[in-house]
Amino acid sequence: MNRDRNELHQVGVTLRVILFTIEDDQLSVVVTKRTIEPFKGSYNLPGGFIHNNESLEQAASRIVQELTGDTHLYTEQLYTFGDPDRDTNGWWITVAYFALLPQDMHTHAPFRINPSCALLPVEKLPTLAFDHATMIEYAVNRLKAKVQYTNIAQGLLPEKFRLTSLQKTYEIILNKPLDKRNFRKKMSSLGLLQALNEKEISGRHRPATLYKFKTKEQVFFD
């Protein structure tokens, strides 16, 4: 370690973001179409370089903001991928982050306007460039795990939501149906939610109580 910077091998560092949101009752991810070789025409994950004097977290947030227009979205470091053969075009290390975009915020996000961007359901992805399919797999697994012992699900929900929407979010991430009464009992016992004095009427049926998470901080339970 005790060497001068000049001895450093020329490994490049990039950053990629797996931006999740729920669209059409499916967990989906933002990808961009490559315009150059290798993998020209294929989709890959959005990303970029780390700017000077920027932390990894800041770089990830910046890219998320470029895509969504929003700062303060939930963003978490996922894993660092560094196989020398993962990119045929030189030697790259990629730090991957994943981020969560609330359901109600993806209609007018910048990535919607950009024609080279697409929002694809994770269950029906085409072949992606490089090892990006692996990255998404890692991210989905992390999300599946954390939804069960943290309040991470709020990153995908609007500020105010119905319990049914919360349950649906869990079901989509976990990819399995949940029991309504048990789900509500569990949520209530965790004490993370606050019922609001507001109802949402959305059709000819009983109006739903709206809830919000008491805190935006990450909470671990179990």
Spatial neighbors of 8 by CB under 8 A, at least 6 apart, are none
- Look up residue 120 and give its amino acid: L
Binding of residue 118 to a copy of itself (CB under 8 A) = no
Q: Residue 63 has what DSSP assignment?
A: H
Binding of residue 197 to DNA (CB under 7 A) = no
Binding of residue 12 to a copy of itself (CB under 8 A) = yes
Binding of residue 203 to DNA (CB under 7 A) = yes
CB of 3 to a copy of itself, least distance (A): 8
How far is 92 from 94, CA to CA, in rounded Å? 6
Report the number of secondary-structure helices (H) and strands (E) in the chain. Answer: 5, 10
- Element holding 20 (H helix, E strand): strand 12-23
Identified binder of DNA from the candidate list 1, 205, 217, 220, rule CB under 7 A: 205
Instruction: Pick out residues in 148-177 that bind DNA (CB under 7 A).
Output: 162-164
Is the distance from CB of 67 to CB of 17 less than 8 angstroms? yes
Is the distance from CB of 101 to CB of 17 less than 8 angstroms? no
Binding of residue 82 to a copy of itself (CB under 8 A) = yes
CB of 81 to a copy of itself, least distance (A): 8
* Residue 6: φ, ψ to 5°: -65, -20
- Report the partner that residue 208 touches, choosing among a copy of itself, DNA, none (CB closer than 5 to 8 A by kind): DNA
Identified binder of DNA from the candidate list 8, 124, 201, 217, rule CB under 7 A: 201
- Report the partner that residue 138 touches, choosing among DNA, a copy of itself, none (CB closer than 5 to 8 A by kind): none
Is the distance from CB of 93 to CB of 81 less than 8 angstroms? yes
Binding mask 40-69 for a copy of itself (x = CB under 8 A): ----x--xxxxxxxxxxx------------
Three-state DSSP at 202 gives coil
Q: Strand pairing of 193-200 and 208-213?
A: antiparallel
**How many chain residues touch a copy of itself (CB under 8 A)?**
38
CB of 180 to DNA, least distance (A): 5
CB of 36 to a copy of itself, least distance (A): 5
Other residues' Cβ atoms within 10 Å of the Cβ of residue 30 = 26
- Report the partner that residue 71 touches, choosing among a copy of itself, DNA, none (CB closer than 5 to 8 A by kind): none
Binding of residue 5 to a copy of itself (CB under 8 A) = yes
| Count of residues in the chain | 222
* Contact set with DNA (CB under 7 A): 162-164, 179-182, 184-186, 189, 199, 201, 203-209, 222
